[in-house]
Structure 1
Amino acid sequence: MLQPPNESFSLSLTQDEALVLFEFVSRFSDSDQLTIEDQAEQRALWNLCCVLEKNLSLPFEGSYADILQAARERLRGE
């Protein structure tokens, strides 16, 4: 069963992961460029992907492309 689109989602990161991801996202916000400047950023992104993969069921739905498109449209409107 699909969860409502506005239902909250929590995940857990180590403080190191959070700090490295914060710097990565902040740099992107300032420059509009996604670049890996340190191997730790790549590792933190891989770890984040693993956490999301373990906790999300929607990417494995048959209608995932439609679900993703709807989520993108909702986020674009904010």
Structure 2
Amino acid sequence: MAIIINLDVVMAQRKTSLKDLAKEVDITMANLSILKNNKAKAVRFSTLDAICKALHCQPGDILEYVESDEVPEEV
């Protein structure tokens, strides 16, 4: 099982930069970058709530479940 974080896609659709979103959500750019690059092991609901408010989206726009055999292996 794998949860994919599509934050980079939603940010691109909304034309929002990492710096602007980090400031609006009040999270460090380093932590937001971990989310954006799909490296996070967990996400607080409060952080997800703030991101969804800032980007005017639903959690399902950012989080996606895929079967393990569908996830490409990292090089």
- Give the alignment's TM-score, normalised by structure 1: 0.26
Which is richer in strand? 2
> Which structure ranks higher in relative contact order (CA pairs < 8 Å, sequence separation ≥ 6)?
2
TM-score (norm 2): 0.27
Q: Which has the higher helix share?
A: 1
